Amino acid sequence: MRYNLLGNTGIKVSQLCFGVLPMGPLQVNISPDDGGELLLAAMENGVNFFDTAQSYGTYAHLAKALRHYPERVVLASKSTAADYAGMRRAIEEALEQLGVDCIDIFHLHAARVGRDLLTQRAGAWQCLLDYRQKGYIRAAGVSSHNAQLIEDLAENPDVDVLFPLINKTGLGILSGGREDMCRAIAKAAAAGKGVYAMKALGGGALLSDYRQAMDFVCGLPGVASVAVGMVRVSELAFNLRYFNGQTIEEEELSHLKNGKRWVLMQALCKNCGTCVQVCPNHALRLGPECCQVDEAKCILCGYCAPVCPQFAIRLG
């Protein structure tokens, strides 16, 4: 496994980052015991970097693994909190539930927010800076799908780490396309920001083109690590082989397919628009009778499902 420094933070991370989102209630919803076992297996096989969030509901899964692993790993979390008090609660919740006294990276979770993010969430950002100064977090960052925002933040001296969405087709990128995000990433890395990438496989949409998709993101200058969501031992084993530089046969690649689907229970949908408001990639819209999805924009993140008051949305 290759390890890289995250910009000027001094934090060294495995090139494979375990994205813990899919094992929580937003997607597959496996138990903390089963999730903890898989996370522990990743740790024992050299993965030292784990990305989660307040909204993912996966702190219990990570805590299970951490209790059985003697070495320190790198933890990243994030919160959509907009004010100081909300971010303080988010950081303290993460510290308590993960059972740690410091979190390596804490982000403003801002998938769809534009260039005025730090103005919109000034209180939350100040809280991150204060908690960094106090030693409760090592690095303050931003998680975003917005290319213009990533480029702007490359010049901000208070930003330590950026977690942008990037993939070879540009699926899910806001305020620009693939080349815009690539330029923003290069600019951030040149400025000493730690950069790790999300959605290299487009939420599963690019799974059938796994090798080319991963080669593209891993080959971008400045990308220290790539977050990949996993919920099965077979997925972990496959990703470990790629990131360890082991041979993957073409026949194996040909069998890969995306098993996730966005499903709407139309009889339950009230066409209220709640899901439309939270979709980070504007993939949902109100239809004549019920919500509709633009599959070309959907990255299967699952953010819409828990906010539906009718429980009409499934990812399965």
Look at 90-94, 152-156, 172-176 and tell me which has the smallest mean pLDDT: 172-176
Q: Residue 193 above 70 pLDDT?
A: yes
Residue 252 pLDDT: 63
What confidence score (pLDDT) does residue 177 get? 94
Amino acid at position 117, single letter: L
pLDDT at 313: 79
Question: Helix, strand, coil: what percent of the chain each, to 5?
Answer: 35, 20, 40
- pLDDT of 293 reads 84
Is residue 164 pLDDT above 70, yes or no? Answer: yes
Would you place residue 253 in the very low, low, confident or very high pLDDT band (cuts 50, 70, 90)? low
Please state, for a pLDDT cut of 90, what percent of the chain lies above it.
70
For 305, list phi and psi in degrees, rounded to 5.
-60, -50
pLDDT, residue 269, reads 83
Residue 300: strand, helix, or coil: coil
Q: How far apart are CA 90 and CA 106, in angstroms?
A: 10
Q: What is the pLDDT of residues 208-229, one digit of tens each?
A: 888 999 999 999 999 999 999 9
CB 125 within 8 A of CB 131: no
Q: What is the pTM of this model?
A: 0.88
Q: Return the pLDDT at 248.
A: 73
Residue 121's alpha-carbon distances to 56, 87, 246, 252, 275, in angstroms, are 20, 10, 44, 45, 22
SS3 75: strand
Gap between the Cα atoms of 212 and 205, Å rounded = 13
pLDDT tens by residue, 117-142? 999 999 999 999 999 999 999 999 99
Mean pLDDT of 289-298: 81
Residue 27 phi/psi, 5-degree rounding, is: -135, -105
41-55 core/surface letters (b: 16 or more CB in 10 A; e: else): bbbebebbbbbbbbb
Q: Between 244 and 307, where is the model more confident?
A: 244
Decide if pLDDT at 145 tops 90. yes
Task: Return the pLDDT at 52.
Answer: 98
Q: Which range scores top for mean pLDDT: 178-192, 254-268, 274-288?
A: 178-192
Calculate mean pLDDT across residues 68-91.
Answer: 97
Residue with tokens 């959509």: 80
> What angle (nearest 5°) sits at the alpha carbon of residue 235, between those of residues 197 and 18?
35
119: three-class secondary structure by DSSP:
helix
Q: Residue 251 contacts by C-beta under 8 Å, 6 or more apart in sequence?
A: none
**Which region among 58-72, 106-120, 283-297 has the lowest average model confidence (pLDDT)?**
283-297
Flag whether pLDDT at 299 surpasses 80.
Answer: no
Integer angstrom CA distances of residue 281 from 20, 99, 165, 295, 314: 20, 33, 11, 11, 17
Q: Identify which of 99, 103, 80, 106 has the alpha carbon closest to the alpha carbon of residue 32.
A: 99
Distances (CA, A) of 217 to 24, 162, 190, 220, 228: 25, 15, 17, 5, 12
Residue 37 has pLDDT above 70, yes or no: yes
Pairing between β-strand 137-144 and β-strand 161-164 as defined by DSSP bridges: parallel
Predicted confidence at residue 298, as pLDDT, reads 81
